[in-house]
Amino acid sequence: MPNDVPNPGDVRPVLSPSASRPPPASRVERGRSVLLAYLSLTKTRIIEQLLVVTVPAMFLAERRIPSVWLIVATLVGGAVAAASAHALNCVVDADIDALMKRTARRPLARGQVPPRNALIFGLALGVFSAVWLGLTTNWLAAALSVSAIAFYVLVYTLLLKRRTAQNIVWGGAAGCMPVVIGWAAVSGTVEWPALVMFGVIFFWTPPHFWALAMRYKDDYAAAGVPMLPVVATPVQVSRRILAYSWTMALWSLLLVPVTSWVYLGAAVLGGGWFVAMAHRLHARIVAGEPARPMRLFHLSNTYLCGLFLAIAVDAALGLPVLGWPL
């Protein structure tokens, strides 16, 4: 049989172009995709960390376990406030998120959510969180949540992030607010132990984020964000990480007078471990070896969780304090 004559047994039906396309997504699938996109705007993983420090602050303010309803109300309000700040941050940073590999999959960077919708979504979350906290806890906690959102969006995202290498130092103050909000929700005031906890997170933030920025230095450089590792040498960065690590570890000891030996042990051992790892990072950089900054980044999360867990255990068990009572 000639080569140009098809074998009848080999003949297959010719499919139209539309027949080869995948079936359109169902309404349920489309709805799920949209829901996940809006949920992604809130950066849920960061919210989890913020809530981890809120509960121990509430325990310490009460010197025992507060009512379950108050804990739930505060966590809901705090989570929604953080979600609001993160969604608004995504709106402002959509252009640079698209340029960074680490953030290129965020909904606005991929065009999954219209900027106008994301803006309304973020503002609505902020209003809800303030009203919720005001009605279920007190209006001081509500006011503090609004100030945290405003500081994160207006001061950090709009003013500092693209202009100075000190962006995360001062902008990180917004991430310290959950402990103050938690304390205020219980006591209706802001007392010095809440400010000490605020300071621990404030001094913890630069080593935490600079370690991450060292790993993603090229990303930040491509987006034009002057994170410290972009504009300073690795040795300069590691020296500043050391300075903040020491300050954080020493500052954490200021909480000893209102805690017990459990917290003291966690502060001394955890702080010593953190400082030792910061010194190791600096030594590797000075020696010209691979820095491996993500080890310090992951350790920083473990340290903060462990330290605040010790605060919660102290208060929940009602252990005798080492200094004067609250």
**1 in a structural domain:** no
Residue owning tokens 């000893």? 256
Residue owning tokens 């906290």? 133
Write the CA distances from 154 to 46, 224, 249, integer angstroms: 19, 19, 30
Q: Give residues with Cβ within 8 angstroms of 58, minimum separation 6.
A: 66, 70, 71, 74, 182, 183, 185, 186
Containing domain of residue 108, as a range?
39-317
**326 in a structural domain:** no
**233 in a structural domain:** yes
**325 in a structural domain:** no
**301 in a structural domain:** yes
pLDDT at residue number 283: 97
pLDDT at residue number 171: 86
Tokens for 216, please give them. 């993603």
**26 in a structural domain:** no
The Cα 79–Cα 125 span in angstroms is: 10
Domain count, the chain: 1
Tokens for 203, please give them. 């001094």
pLDDT at residue number 24: 57
**232 in a structural domain:** yes
| Cα first-last separation, the chain | 99
**162 in a structural domain:** yes
Residue ranges for the chain with pLDDT beneath 70: 1-25, 324-326
Residue 158 is part of a domain; what is its CATH number?
A: 1.10.357.140
pLDDT at residue number 22: 52
